[in-house]
Chain A
Amino acid sequence: MNKARNNPLNMTLMHGALILYTIIALFPVFVILINSLKTRKAIFREPLALPSSDSFSLVGYQTVFKQGDFFLYMQNSLIVTVVSIFLVLLFGAMAAFALSEYRFKGNTLMGLYLALGIMIPIRIGTVAILEMMVATGLVNSLWALILVYTAQGLPLAVFILSEFMRQVSEDLKNAGRIDGLSEYTIFFRLVLPLVRPAMATVAVFNMIPIWNDLWFPLILAPAEEVKTLTLGSQVFIGQFVTDWNAVLSALSMAILPVLILYVIFSRQLIRGITSGAVK
């Protein structure tokens, strides 16, 4: 490992590969960003050109701010994403703690049941979910989305977190019990801080699909005041004409919040990913 790291040829190749991958991964984002700042004609004439003094235009951004309530959409998306992730982490961690810490009848079975959701896509149940939401009167509310995303995120969260919680020192939890800490205190004060990297991993894995989802907002919450950003951007995509300036501008702005959330979690995420490999 160290030898490979010190070898300059290996270093060059490694960095070359990583840089190449970064370029490939960032290219679409880059194209969206530059084109969001161009006139419609310039977008189609030369999609890869940088905006020049001729082609520069903020018309897309103007459209986005004029039409539809962009900030409301953004706020809806943020609420749904943040609350869902919070609930996934809270309930996922609690279930994982119970499964890894306590011996009770049906423990294994319960673990399997909770993990089953990893293999079954939640969209299969869309019709039933819609019926339930109608029956409970939650259609066209942010709660509908939050509940669905929480359910969608829980299986993987329980699976990952219970693996990590099994590694938390038994002695440490027992020391807490002898010192008179309640099970809740042991969970929140001793165990959760120690699995923080795993929590960040789960948060990032869940964040992107929730933020980008179009399916459930379209079906469960299409009303104007609860539209998410992804759904809100759809108004610019018509059957016959698409306002590309607006679409690209909306997308550019939609990247920002996830980027910020990602930066918050990423430090922890890196520790989470490497914690198994590098001890």
Chain B
Amino acid sequence: MTALTLTNVNKSFGDVHVLKDINISVEEGEFVVFVGPSGCGKSTLLRVIAGLEDASSGEIRIGDELVNLTPPSKRGIAMVFQSYALYPHLNVEKNMSLALKQEGQSKEVIAERIAKASTMLNLQDYLHRFPSELSGGQRQRVAIGRAIVREPKLFLFDEPLSNLDAALRMNTRIEIANLHRQLSASMIYVTHDQTEAMTLADKIVVLRDGRVEQIGAPMELYNNPANKFVAGFLGSPSMNFLPAGLVTEGDSRTLGIRPEDLRLSDGDGLAAQVSHVEHLGGDTNVIAHAGDHQITARLFGQHAVEAGQGVTLGFAPEKAYYFDEAGARLRG
């Protein structure tokens, strides 16, 4: 069964057309990540799904139900916000129980669900603290707990990790992945960070300027991007784009080649001048210039390459992608 279906959803703020003909479906139990640069409309899309904004046109179905006119609290969703958005005047326990009280759940049910969620998130010791007495990571766990206790049909996360420091971000990411396995609930997760998208998602939706660029499993998008934007957005360091003329005389297309598909070669390839080298131990990142074009190569293992040196970078022809001037993928 599908957990969520969006059909031709549009959203305008006055004259500003923010979401353009969005068609997405989320299967039951699926972890879907919306990824795209800042300002592309990810949060707006999530708010439309939650019912915090009305869609200007189009249909939103949660389960089988058309919910365009259903208020947020009746949609069977729960949302985790970037800024945590905990109620400052309520302690952790009351923060988590508020929605259940509003729903009119019995005391026993509330106590049981809070016990379960706080065990899952290691919050037992903090139940009587106020949000101001918690660290950022703890606050985020409370926010997630507040979502869990509602046992929603669909979880919505809006950049939940972006206020955490790098170490905590990785831990919380793993926690969210575990949570998804334990709850086997449908989740939508918004981020601008392609690493989060690649590591968490069953399915990635790439957005740009309020439009869906491509939908697919992480490796599918990585190996088979529909256009230059998707190719450049996923993968780190990101794909190199060069005029194909540098390799084949007279070719007017754009050549895309991932840094890890480049290798040092004695024979054919791109002649380039090394401008910087990053020795990471396991990998070596070589930043080189061919004319005005910057090329990043990620070489496996350790290589004795130095800045200022000339190198030839070769690649297997089947690893190359080609794009036309508008950025559409050219195949074959």
By a beta-carbon cutoff of 8 Å, the part of chain A in contact with chain B is 169, 171-172, 174-181, 189-190, 193-194
Contact = CB atoms under 8 A, between A and B. Distances in A.
Given A178-B79, A180-B99, A171 B73 contact: no
Contacts of B87: 172, 175-176, 190
A169 B73 contact: no
Give the dominant DSSP class at A's interface. Answer: helix
Interface residues of B, number: 24
B315 interface: no
B85 A174 contact: yes
Contacts of A169: 83, 85
Contacts of B79: 174-175, 178
Given A172-B87, A193-B89, A194-B88, A177 B73 contact: yes
A180 B83 CA distance: 19
A180 B50 CA distance: 12
Given A175-B81, A189-B89, 4 more contacts: A172-B83, A177-B73, A181-B73, A190-B87
A179 B98 contact: yes
Interface of B: 47, 50, 52, 71-74, 77-79, 81-89, 98-99, 102-103, 146
Given A169-B83, A169-B85, A171-B85, A178 B103 contact: no
A171 B140 CA distance: 13
Nearest to B100: A179
A180 B52 contact: no
9 contacts: A171-B82, A172-B85, A174-B50, A177-B52, A178-B73, A179-B98, A181-B98, A189-B89, A193-B88
Contacts of B71: 177
Nearest to B158: A171
A178 B78 contact: yes
A190 B78 CA distance: 19
B153 to A, nearest CB: 13
B176 to A, nearest CB: 18
A181 B85 contact: no
Contact of B52 (A172, A178, A181): A178
Contacts of B83: 169, 171-172
A178 B88 contact: no
B11 to A, nearest CB: 13
